[in-house]
Chain A
């Protein structure tokens, strides 16, 4: 929960609420991007990588850093846990 996971922003979901869709290890989910937005339009985030913490994009990182961090999280077993938590939460909401 504390380490978060890198994800790539692929789509904007709600401009007013600052929500975007990120892809994390092949899993897509909605996240809030308020913390990484400066003055630029939200669309400019498409393609950007960010560390995602419990549904919030917290820091923009470059692609290389994203790959490095993902490797570490995989080795620590945290990446799988994080993605499983995302999936389980989605299932819970759908039920």
Chain B
């Protein structure tokens, strides 16, 4: 299908999209950005990465604009050691481990959850932590553990499930907590002297929970624009335009393109539940990025009865950890994650590493940059050859 046809079929409002694309081209020109010296805009959220590739937005926008794909896929940044630990718990007698399906194929040092299940561990995919709690009610003789992971969008659901379990006095239910927060890795990237970033497209659904204020430091301390965006291609293009206009005008502010879903102040019930249940860990490891201060959450001591790390004595500070995580041979996940190289520049891309047999986590989830490239980008690359 030609780009023109795709355009007419896939944009809800092709006329508006054309208008925004023309405006983007104009502002990129006004900034003086070129293919050789592009302006770099990072989309933080993996959902945005997926949408950019799905709609070919990187191909429709001028070469003077370069998208850098941020670390916003929770499955992709989960370190191997946490997979090892969740498997260690899952393999204990009497345990039922519950997890979102996305996490099943993430490789650990020894194996993935999928392989552990094939080896006999009782690992079950759930849609919601509520289903894990229900499983605990139905199996009072077993220990049901929920593998909690995700950014601020999913963090409240785990917290509210824990609070429900506590209210019910459920004693055979616990959470292996891997929840992480968006702002600290952004700060880490901004502090990286090799990183070139001119502005950010902010995550829509994360912001629906936390609101806009947690991004203030990006505008205030680093003088970079942030525009919180929806997932529709037109939303994304409009947000990119808003970022570019700020850059052109020498402004840096946090703006909300997605106000029809994202209230500036976030969701107070979610924020309160998270404050009640979690506290920040001093540090948490991100695959490809290393340890980042205060970027992960753990369960507060008052809810220790529901903390799988305490219950099973497995987790941060409980066992030997390899300080720096060695990547598999030839993997460039870290460089892709920080935007230094594009996925197809990794020697393993599409060879040793495919969505069916991922070597690195960026290939696992449809929100990972490598998987998105593989699904959509690879084809287009061939077309242009």
Contact = CB atoms under 8 A, between A and B. Distances in A.
A1 B164 contact: no
A93 B269 contact: no
B156 interface: yes
B46 interface: yes
Interface stretch (B34-42, B120-128, B247-255, B350-358): B120-128
B261 interface: yes
B50 interface: yes
Interface string A32-72: 10111100000000000001011110110110010011011
B102 interface: yes
A9 to B, nearest CB: 16
A71 to B, nearest CB: 7
A29 B131 CA distance: 11
B267 A55 contact: no
Contact of B150 (A2, A31, A34, A89): A2
Nearest to B101: A85
A72 B134 CA distance: 31
B366 A54 contact: no
B157 A2 contact: no
Interface in B57-84: 73-75
Contact of B160 (A3, A36, A56): A56
B10 A2 contact: no
B54 A75 contact: yes
Q: Which of B51, B131, B267, B367 has the most CB of A within 10 A?
A: B131
Q: Which of A32, A61, A62, A86 has the most CB of B within 10 A?
A: A32
A65 B261 contact: yes
A59 B231 contact: no
A7 interface: no
A25 to B, nearest CB: 14
Nearest to B260: A65
Contacts of B127: 29, 54-55, 85-86, 88-90
Interface residues of B, number: 48
A62 B270 CA distance: 20
Interface string B255-291: 0000011100001011001000000000000000000
B154 A54 contact: yes
B208 to A, nearest CB: 5
A89 B260 contact: no
Contact of A4 (B131, B153, B366): B153
Contacts of B134: 93
A26 interface: no
Contacts, number: 126
Contacts of B209: 58
A78 B127 CA distance: 13
Given A1-B154, A78-B366, A58 B208 contact: yes
Interface string A1-14: 11110000000000
A86 B164 CA distance: 20
B125 A69 contact: no
B232 interface: yes
A72 B232 contact: yes
Contacts of B50: 76, 78
A2 B131 contact: no
A89 to B, nearest CB: 4
Contacts of B367: 2
Contacts of B135: 92-93
A72 B12 CA distance: 10
Nearest to A55: B128
B125 A85 contact: yes
B271 to A, nearest CB: 10
A9 B310 CA distance: 38
Contacts of B12: 68, 71
Given A54-B128, A55-B129, A2 B46 contact: yes
Given A51-B205, A71-B12, 5 more contacts: A51-B208, A54-B150, A61-B261, A65-B260, A92-B125
Interface of A: 1-4, 17, 29-32, 34-37, 51, 53-56, 58-59, 61-62, 65, 68-69, 71-72, 75-78, 85-86, 88-90, 92-93
13 contacts: A1-B100, A2-B150, A32-B130, A53-B153, A53-B157, A54-B154, A55-B130, A55-B131, A85-B127, A88-B127, A89-B126, A89-B127, A93-B135
Q: Which 10 A-B pairs have the closest CB atoms?
A: A55-B128, A89-B127, A56-B157, A85-B127, A35-B269, A55-B130, A54-B128, A89-B131, A86-B127, A3-B47
